Amino acid sequence: MRDFFNPENPLMIFFARLTDLIILNLVCIICCLPIVTIGASVTALHYVTLKMAKNEEGYIIKSFFKSFKENLKQSTVVWLLFLVITLFFYLDLRIIKYGGLDIPKGINMVIYGTYFICCIVMMYTLPLLARFSNTIKGTLKNASLMSVLHFGKTILMAIIYLLPVILTRLHYDFAAVYLLFGLSAPAYVNGFFWKSIFKRYEPQEEEETEESEGFVHTWEEE
């Protein structure tokens, strides 16, 4: 019984991590409620989950709000830009559907495909803001290039992020699970992918990997 309550016990470590993810998920959702702060909240979420993947998380709440404050301006600009793009594509689809215009059906696929690319770039952008200091332009450029260079992981991570949403839509009983883990658990699982991907592009002494060519190398670790 004494060994069961040992902090080094794998089961205790699992429950401690589970508790951290619940707390992190609830804090992230609360900070997303003003809508305009969703970008900063999700960036802070990835800041913490990436540290969790590296076993460097420290105090969950403190780390979350540290990143939230430091990345508020850039992440908000990026998030608002993404909202404008989303609105643009939504209006395009509504016009095509109800505008009575003679538009080829294949245009829908082009619009969906283009929006999917924007979503993928956004998926990379917020974790990049959480991990590195850079300009918005540089971050968007790097996000675009990374999403292509790591296309296999990109698709897999996108599925992991969408899985809670898909499960909730299939059965509303999963809504409660989403409130507890829907944001933090996918971000934590993908944190191991981000850790592997970002390691390839971290500054190195007098050396760059072949994959890092074309990237903006003005990053500084936070």
pLDDT digits (tens, 9 = 90+) for 145-172: 999 999 999 999 999 999 998 888 887 7
Instruction: Give backbone dihedrals phi and psi of 121, rounded to 5 degrees, phi first.
Output: -65, -40
Element (H, E) at 221: strand 220-221
Q: What is the pLDDT of residue 109?
A: 86
d(CA 141, CA 120): 12
Q: What percent of the chain has pLDDT over 90?
A: 62
pLDDT of 175 > 50? The answer is yes
Per-residue model confidence (pLDDT) at position 89 = 92
The pTM of the full predicted model, rounded to 2 decimals, is 0.85
Domain ranges of the chain: 10-205
Contacts of 25 (CB under 8 A, 6+ apart): 179, 180, 181, 182, 183, 184, 185
pLDDT for 5:
54
Most confident among 90-104, 181-195, 201-215 (mean pLDDT)? 181-195
